Amino acid sequence: MQKRKLGTQGLEVSALGLGCMGMSFGYYPFPEKDEAIRLIRRAVELGVSFFDTAEVYGPYTNEELVGEALQPFKGEVVIATKFGFDIREGKMVGTNSRPEQIRKAVEGSLRRLKVETIDLLYQHRVDPQVPIEDVAGTVKELIREGKVRYFGLSEAGVKTIRRAHAVQPVTALQSEYSLWWREPEAEIIPTLEELGIGLVPFSPLGKGFLTGAIDERTQFAPTDFRNTVPRFAEENRKANLALVELLKQLAQEKQATPAQIALAWLLAQKPWIVPIPGTTKIHRLEENLGAVNIQLTADELQQIQEALSKIQIVGDRYNEEHRRRIDR
């Protein structure tokens, strides 16, 4: 597995990570615990050294799962987790990045992940009630205390990134970025390049849509997160299949799969981009990781760019409730 550097503070990880959220949160049905542990450990065998979780996934159960699965590989892998929400009676009830809440979250994450230090700690969503300088300052203290190694932000806007980075260098920004969500290209990516911050795209396969396994007839489980996403409304899915057809055509030419082309495209954008596709199936994990062996030429990337310019993506990526949590 190829390695990539996130940020300029020294964090090196596998070129593709594994997003673990869907194993216990968001994408029902979930695998049995033993299956999930087997998948995470298979990822390590295949060279993945970067694993993503958060206290709100579950809540708490995802960190416990990741901690148990990766305990035999302590010191060999990088685990990223997140703080930033209030959790009451097992539910996420709003942002909370007050310093005391950050410390409380970190103590819980350390315990559940079975580690002495959190490798990469993200603020999960920007808290409009707490100055980002206070957040960055608290994480700076936690780094001095040896409880955290690197600081990250998630779905933060350019101004917030700059203000945080001035207090404590930001190693990575985690935000949605894929062939069907390219907004970061306008302001975020140039800012990250200027400041020396890595980008960790979540949903790099468009929440499964870019794999080619979903069409307008696909039925999701009642509790599946995608039921709340406007982009996944039946008529929007039908319209967006034009992008999937493009991926299928490219995949055929490269003797690859649509998912591999979507991930290879992301990897080709910048050497400091590390996507974290999630899956609950070992054969999909192995398929995704095959993307690191696909090289898209400059001509091919230009052809993709030209084809994309003629495809209109339909539907918002979040509903109103989730849009309110995104920093601008």
Q: pLDDT by residue (tens digit) across 140-161?
A: 999 999 999 999 999 999 999 9
Question: Active-site residue numbers?
Answer: 57
| Residue 325: pLDDT over 80 | no
Report d(CA 291, CA 207) in Å as an integer.
17
Alpha carbon distance 289, 296 (integer Å): 15
- The average pLDDT across 266-295 equals 97
Is pLDDT above 80 for 322? Answer: no
- More reliable by pLDDT, 328 or 37: 37
Set out the domains of the chain in order of their start, with CATH numbers: 3-323 (3.20.20.100)
Q: What is the pLDDT of residue 31?
A: 93
Chain-centroid distance of CA 123 in Å reads 13
Measure the CA–CA gap between 127 and 300, rounded to whole angstroms.
41
pTM higher than the cut 0.85: yes
**Across all residues in the chain, what is the average pLDDT?**
95
